[in-house]
Chains A and B, each alone.
Chain A
Amino acid sequence: GENVEQHPSTLSVQEGDSAVIKCTYSDSASNYFPWYKQELGKRPQLIIDIRSNVGEKKDQRIAVTLNKTAKHFSLHITETQPEDSAVYFCAAVGWNTGFQKLVFGTGTRLLVSP
């Protein structure tokens, strides 16, 4: 089945700096890669996603890049703000008996210091 690895586990940056989180996946059949932001005790919130037919997608300060050949994708946050502090999860769709199910990475705790 699908296996998703995520690095780093923790990331501390100063306000205004950029943050990059990287993930790799194992199943070459995966075709959908979302990123979620989760604040303490709350549900994960989708912040950006990318499908396998594109290599990059951007939404204001957030961008995601995908390298299908290498099977890795990355989240880029520019001009970080303290409210960006949270745990971020990448995920990939693994196919299982005809149903799609998301497999999550281990998470990255981002801390943005003022």
Chain B
Amino acid sequence: GAVVSQHPSWVICKSGTSVKIECRSLDFQATTMFWYRQFPKQSLMLMATSNEGSKATYEQGVEKDKFLINHASLTLSTLTVTSAHPEDSSFYICSARDRGSVGELFFGEGSRLTVL
């Protein structure tokens, strides 16, 4: 199946710093990628839809200035958590759909962010 790679898998940072997470589709092109956040023992909550070549669409309650999303190519989307605080500590997962298919999403490995 299609492969989505996410990096880094783990990141620990100090409060106030910014962290960038990359999501790459390795063997397919993805015009749309999705960023989810998952708190311990909870479900995946959609944060935003990343659209190649245009602005991301954010879900209600998600601060676009805090979670910067860039989708500069058909295989790469980045999520930058700006001025991170401890409450931003979470598991962030990206997903992508092959632009030639309908339905199945492929997930990255996830990135566990810990803000001290």
Contact = CB atoms under 8 A, between A and B. Distances in A.
14 contacts: A32-B102, A34-B105, A41-B112, A42-B110, A44-B44, A44-B93, A46-B104, A89-B44, A93-B103, A99-B49, A100-B32, A100-B102, A104-B44, A104-B45
Interface in A15-73: 32, 34, 41-46, 49, 51
B57 interface: yes
- Ordered nearest first, which 8 A-B pairs have the shortest CB separation? A43-B107, A104-B44, A104-B43, A32-B103, A106-B43, A107-B43, A43-B109, A44-B107
A93 B46 CA distance: 12
Chain A facing B: main interface SS: strand
Contacts of B34: 101-102
B105 A102 contact: yes
A45 B110 CA distance: 12
Contacts of A51: 103
A51 B95 CA distance: 20
Interface residues of A, number: 24
Interface residue tally on B, bucketed by range? 20 to 34
Nearest to A103: B46
Contact of A34 (B42, B45, B49, B103): B103
Contacts of A103: 46
Interface string A66-99: 0000000000000000000000010001001101
Given A43-B107, A49-B103, A51-B103, A105 B43 contact: yes
A99 B99 CA distance: 11
Contact of B32 (A32, A34, A99): A99
A76 to B, nearest CB: 20
Contacts of B45: 104
Contacts of B104: 34, 46, 49
Contacts of B108: 43
A65 to B, nearest CB: 18
B78 interface: no
A51 B101 CA distance: 14
A96 B32 CA distance: 13
